[in-house]
């Protein structure tokens, strides 16, 4: 190729060296950009965490108070219910006798049944 007629070892070495250096430079630049981005996001996350921590403490206090109220209500209900009896009919008369069908006591399936004659 004519274009490369004047290319010799010095040019090749320079191309390889500069090329490798450029790859490094571009990727190192990306490291700084990504580090910067990471710093911004971790900072935001930390700030959000601190905010959440404050809110969480308040929530916790509220939760404890709520739990105490709930416990008091539950105890009151328990005491109230323990004084109550089930309402009963107070009738002891047997109204109805029902004999449930069972094949064990069935006369149709009894052993005395004769075989069919053909």
Q: Which stretches of the chain bind other proteins, using CB under 8 A?
A: 1, 4, 7, 9, 11-13, 15-17, 19-20, 22-24, 26-31, 33-35, 37-38, 41-42, 45
Q: Closer CB to other proteins, residue 45 or residue 61?
A: 45
Residue 103 near residue 109, CB atoms below 8 Å: yes
Q: Closer CB to other proteins, residue 23 or residue 57?
A: 23
Q: Closer CB to other proteins, residue 25 or residue 65?
A: 25
Nearest approach, Cβ of residue 45 and other proteins (Å): 7
Nearest approach, Cβ of residue 2 and other proteins (Å): 11
How far is residue 69's CA from residue 66's CA, in Å, rounded to a whole number?
5
Q: What are the phi and psi torsion angles at 94 (to 5°)?
A: -85, 120
Nearest approach, Cβ of residue 72 and other proteins (Å): 42
Tokens representing residue 39 in the block: 């710093």
Specify the residue for token string 């090329």.
Answer: 19
Nearest approach, Cβ of residue 43 and other proteins (Å): 12
Q: What are the phi and psi torsion angles at 110 (to 5°)?
A: -65, 165
Distances (CA, A) of 9 to 13, 20, 33: 6, 16, 36
């Amino acid at each position: 190729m004519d274009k490369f007629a004047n290319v010799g070892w010095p040019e090749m070495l320079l191309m390889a060296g500069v090329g490798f250096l450029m790859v490094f430079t571009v990727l190192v630049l990306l490291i700084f950009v990504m580090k910067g981005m990471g710093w911004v996001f971790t900072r935001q996350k930390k700030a959000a965490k601190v905010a959440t921590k404050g809110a969480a403490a308040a929530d916790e206090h509220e939760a404890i108070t709520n739990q105490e109220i709930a416990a008091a209500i539950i105890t009151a209900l328990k005491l109230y219910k323990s004084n109550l009896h089930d309402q009963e009919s107070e009738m002891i008369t047997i109204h109805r006798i029902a004999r449930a069908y069972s094949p064990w006591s069935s006369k149709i399936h009894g052993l005395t049944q004769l075989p069919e004659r053909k």
